[in-house]
């Protein structure tokens, strides 16, 4: 089958690129002909508050990547849609994550469908974490462009159903985010901590990924300031780039008296360093205020690390409380209570059996099966 994936890949960086590249490799391993069409320009610079959109990694030599579409240039959308028709693709897979991209991706998908290509969208989110009044029109436009959807959590599936036409409903398949197994194998904890300059004897908490308001780092900092941590060897590592101005966290750190207790690594973490951070960590903490699902959980599963997540969106679906970690309320005391319980256990191995059992659910073959499990 001729498969085209439409979306973010190299030379761009981040979780979307990692997902699409790994998905392409899975389709290739199953014997399909795969090409990825990506952006000549993804975000205008003024809409991207991070340091850079671009990867420092070399171009993947095993993937066929064509840069063709500009997210704000309608002429390129039409050109890309026509290119897909010329290539006579059997299947177009579109990763949807933000309403801003709906006009671009939706227009391309509509043109491709007119040429007989089936369109399946894999949904990260439908309603964004930081909503805007215009979102519903953009979302409705994109939802109308696909033949069917793969939602990566129940909450995303429920959001998608709000925008599907009752006259012509498209089917939605539920398939959780697969493992991010493309970051290598673990290294010894002592070696990882030595590379990062961390205390080899402390309980290491890891907050990982782009630092955005909805991810609740402020809640974690307030939990970490709980006086019950006094005298305990617990070290919080924040690893990821500030998506917005980081001054609010510096001010909060000072106000809470946490200076010197938090290790800040606020550059973008390249792919070859991800395993160092996860190998060094004891507990992966995701204190999100809103969420649908998270790729960070799938990195944690790959490295067999217990997790603490808040009870929002689909996080509790993929992190069973007490089996692979903790699900807490979205407030500092509950987060602190769970961390303290983890510290008192004194053994990260107590969750390993549950993690090994759960991670088997997240094979990439299940994602390709969900995408293709219908009559073309």
- Count of alpha carbons within 13 Å of 17, Cβ hemisphere only? 20
Share of the chain above pLDDT 70, in %: 97
Whole-angstrom Cα distance, residue 37 to residue 8?
A: 8
213 phi/psi in degrees, rounded to 5: -55, -40
Q: Where are the beta strands (DSSP E) in the chain?
A: 2-6, 33-41, 65-70, 91-96, 118-123, 148-151, 172-174, 203-208, 234-239, 262-265, 283-286, 307-310, 325-328
- Which of the four pLDDT bands, split at 50, 70 and 90, describes residue 376? very low
Residue ranges and CATH numbers for the domains of the chain are 2-174 (3.40.50.11930), 189-361 (3.40.50.2000)
Per residue, the 3-state secondary structure of 3-46, as one string, reads EEEECCCCCECCHHHHHHHHHHHHHHHCCCEEEEEEEEECCCHH
Q: Please, what is the average pLDDT of the chain?
A: 93
Give the per-residue pLDDT at 245: 78
Q: Are 102 and 141 in contact (CB under 8 A)?
A: yes
Give the per-residue pLDDT at 30: 97
Whole-angstrom Cα distance, residue 162 to residue 314?
A: 17
- Count of alpha carbons within 13 Å of 327, Cβ hemisphere only? 15
Give the per-residue pLDDT at 186: 96
Give the per-residue pLDDT at 247: 92
Give the per-residue pLDDT at 307: 96
Q: Is the pLDDT of residue 54 over 90?
A: no
Nearest to 101 by CA among 23, 11, 41: 41
Tell me what the mean pLDDT of segment 104-128 comes to.
95
pLDDT, greater one: 26 or 131: 26
Cis peptide before 11 (omega within 30 of 0): yes
Tell me what the mean pLDDT of segment 157-169 comes to.
89
In the chain, the largest separation of any two C-alpha atoms, in whole Å, equals 66
Q: Is the pLDDT of residue 151 over 70?
A: yes
Give the per-residue pLDDT at 50: 66
Give the per-residue pLDDT at 119: 97
- 252-295 pLDDT, tens digit each: 999 999 999 999 999 989 889 999 999 999 999 999 998 877 88
Tell me what the mean pLDDT of segment 23-31 comes to.
97
Please work out, in degrees rounded to the nearest 5, the angle formed at the alpha carbon of residue 142 by the alpha carbons of 137 and 147: 140
- Which of the four pLDDT bands, split at 50, 70 and 90, describes residue 347? low
Q: Are 12 and 55 in contact (CB under 8 A)?
A: yes
- 167-205 pLDDT, tens digit each: 788 999 999 999 999 899 999 999 999 999 999 999 999
Whole-angstrom Cα distance, residue 325 to residue 358?
A: 11
Give the per-residue pLDDT at 340: 96
Q: What is the DSSP string of 228-257?
A: GGTT--EEEEEES-BSS-THHHHHHHHHHT
Give the per-residue pLDDT at 346: 67
């Amino acid at each position: 089958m001729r498969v085209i994936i439409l979306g973010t890949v190299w030379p761009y960086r981040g979780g979307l690129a990692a997902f699409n590249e790994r998905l392409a490799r899975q389709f290739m391993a199953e014997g399909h002909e795969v090409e990825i069409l990506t952006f000549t320009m993804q975000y205008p610079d003024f809409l991207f508050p991070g340091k850079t959109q671009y990867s420092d990694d070399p171009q993947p030599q095993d993937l066929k990547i064509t840069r063709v579409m500009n997210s704000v240039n309608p002429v390129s959308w039409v050109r890309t849609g026509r290119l897909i028709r010329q290539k006579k693709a059997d299947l177009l897979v579109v990763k949807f994550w933000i309403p801003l991209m709906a006009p671009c991706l939706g227009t391309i998908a509509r043109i491709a469908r007119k040429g007989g290509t089936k369109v399946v969208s894999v949904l990260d989110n439908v309603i964004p974490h930081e909503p805007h009044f215009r979102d519903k029109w953009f979302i409705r436009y994109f939802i109308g462009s696909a033949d069917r959807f793969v939602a990566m959590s129940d909450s995303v599936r429920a959001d998608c159903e709000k925008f599907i036409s009752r006259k012509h409903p498209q089917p939605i398949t539920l398939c959780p985010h697969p493992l991010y197994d493309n970051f290598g194998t673990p290294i010894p904890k002592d070696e990882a901590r030595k590379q990062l300059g961390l205390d080899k004897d402390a309980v290491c908490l890891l907050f990982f990924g782009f630092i955005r308001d909805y991810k609740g780092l402020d809640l974690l900092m307030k939990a970490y300031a709980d006086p019950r941590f006094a005298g305990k060897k617990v070290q919080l590592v924040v690893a990821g780039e500030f998506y917005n101005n980081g001054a609010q966290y510096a001010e909060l750190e000072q106000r809470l008296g946490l200076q010197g207790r938090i290790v800040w690594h606020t550059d973008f973490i390249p792919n070859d360093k991800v395993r160092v951070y996860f190998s060094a960590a004891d507990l992966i903490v995701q204190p999100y205020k809103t969420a649908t699902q998270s790729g960070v959980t799938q990195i944690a599963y790959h490295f067999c690390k217990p997790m603490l997540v808040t009870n929002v969106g689909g996080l509790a679906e993929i992190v069973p409380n007490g089996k692979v970690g903790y699900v807490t309320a979205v407030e500092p005391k509950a987060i602190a209570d769970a961390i303290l319980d983890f510290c008192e256990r004194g053994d990260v191995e107590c969750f390993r059996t549950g993690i090994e059992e759960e991670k088997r659910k997240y094979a990439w073959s299940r994602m390709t099966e969900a995408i293709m499990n219908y009559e073309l």
